[in-house]
Amino acid sequence: MSFGYTQALWLKESAAYGSSEDLSTGTRYVLPVKPNISVEKTLARIKTGHIRGTAGMKQEDDQLGIESVQGSFGGVVPCKGDFGIVFKNAIGKVVSVGAAAPYSHTYTWNDKLFVGFSLAINKGDATYVSHGCQFKSLKLSAKAGGPLEWTADIVGRTEVQIATVTAPTFPTLLAGTPYWLFQHGAFEIDDVVEPMTEFSIDFLNELAESDDSSYAIGTVARTLLPRTGYGVTGTVKRRHYKDATQVSKFYAKFLAGTVGKLEFTFVNPSDANYSLLITLGVVKFEGKTPNASDKGMLFEEIPFVAYDLDQATSSINVQDAQAAPVTATGAYDGAGA
C-alpha cells in the first residue's frame, strides 16, 4: 500500500528539446508545491474501419497514436529557493547581476524560450518523469489575508515511470518569513500608491502544440515545442475610490482608452536582501461600470491587458541572496527538430 507523495516536484533543464534528463543527478531545482499536482500522459488512439467480405463495416481496429503530457501544479511563492527557474522558463530572458547579496535577477520577455525541462514527481512507490516540457501559463495571485500564490500549466513530450524512487534534497526556506505575504505588498498605478484587495496576473505562452506543428511522421512523440507568441493579462480588485475628477481613475482610463503603468511590490520584513517587483509599463484597462450589490461599499473589478512587453518598460525583478540564475536568453525556436 502507498500513500500520496513522498516528494513534491523537482525539475532539470533540458540539454536539447525532448532530451531524457536524469533527474537523480546534476543541477535540479526543487519547488515546494501543493499536493494537488496533476501531470498526466495522454495517448491518442487510432481507430480504423474495414469493409467486410459482405455488406457493412467490420468492428474498428484500435492502435495507439500520438502521445503528450499535460499538467498543472502550484503553491505559495517562496522568498528563497528555486522559484527563479519558473520565471526563467516561463518568460524567456534573465539577467543576473551583483557580486554579493542582494543579487538582482531581472526577467524580461524574449521571442524565444529556453529548450524546456524535465520534471519529476514521486507518487507512492515510483517516480514519474516527464520530458520535453514547457510552461504554457503562469499565474500569480494574492488577496487581503493571504500569501502570494502561483499556478502553472505545462505541455510536455512524454512520460516515463521509474520503479526506484528518487528523492532530491528538500528546499531550504528562509527562517523568518518564508513566503511573500499580502501585508508586505504594495500596488501602484502611474507611480501612485492605490489600495487594493486582490489581484491576479496571467503570463501566457502560445506554444506550437498542435499535431501539424509539433509532430512528424515516424514517431508518436513531439519533435518540437517552441513558443509562437506571448501575452500578459490580469485583474485588480479594490474598493471604489473617487480619485479622477470624482470617478475611479481606472474607470476614467477605461473610458478614454489611455494606458497606465502597474507595479506590484513585495518585501520581506525579516531580511532586506529579498524583494519582488513586477512592472507592467504599458497597460490598458478593460473595466466595467462599478455596481452596487448591497448597502455596503462599491467594489471594482478591473481587468487589464499589458502591451509592449518586448520593450524596456516591463519586467519581473527579484532580489535575493542567491547568485543563480545566470545571465541568459532563450534561443529555442524548434529549428533542427
Q: Does residue 235 lie within any of the structural domains? A: yes
Q: Locate cell 527579484: which residue?
A: 318
Task: Find the domain containing 72 and state its range.
Answer: 8-40+62-163+174-329
C-alpha cell belonging to residue 161: 515511470
Cα separation, 333 vs 335, in Å, equals 6
Residue 81 lies in a domain: yes
pLDDT tens per residue across all 337 residues of the chain:
455 666 679 999 999 999 999 988 889 999 989 988 999 999 998 887 766 556 655 666 778 899 999 999 999 999 998 999 999 999 999 999 999 999 999 999 999 999 999 999 988 778 899 999 999 999 999 999 999 999 999 999 999 998 777 777 788 889 889 999 999 999 999 999 988 999 999 999 999 999 999 999 999 999 999 999 999 999 999 887 777 767 788 888 888 899 999 999 999 999 999 999 999 999 999 876 666 666 777 788 889 999 999 888 999 999 999 888 888 899 999 987 7
Domain count, the chain: 1
The per-residue pLDDT for 229 is 96
Q: Does some domain include residue 46?
A: no
Three cell numbers, residue 122? 514521486
Q: What does the alpha-carbon distance between residue 317 and residue 277 come to, in Å, rounded to a whole number?
A: 5
Whether residue 49 is contained in a domain is answered as no
For residue 83, CA distances in Å to 26, 28, 244 come to 18, 12, 38
Q: List, in order, residues 6 or more apart from 188 with CB less than 8 Å away.
A: 194, 261, 262, 263, 265
Cα separation of 51 and 74, whole Å?
50
2 assigned to some structural domain: no
Residue 337 lies in a domain: no
Whole-prediction pTM: 0.92
Task: Give the amino acid at 94.
Answer: V
Beta bridge pairs of residue 277: 265, 317
Output the pLDDT for position 54. 61
* 334 part of a folded domain: no
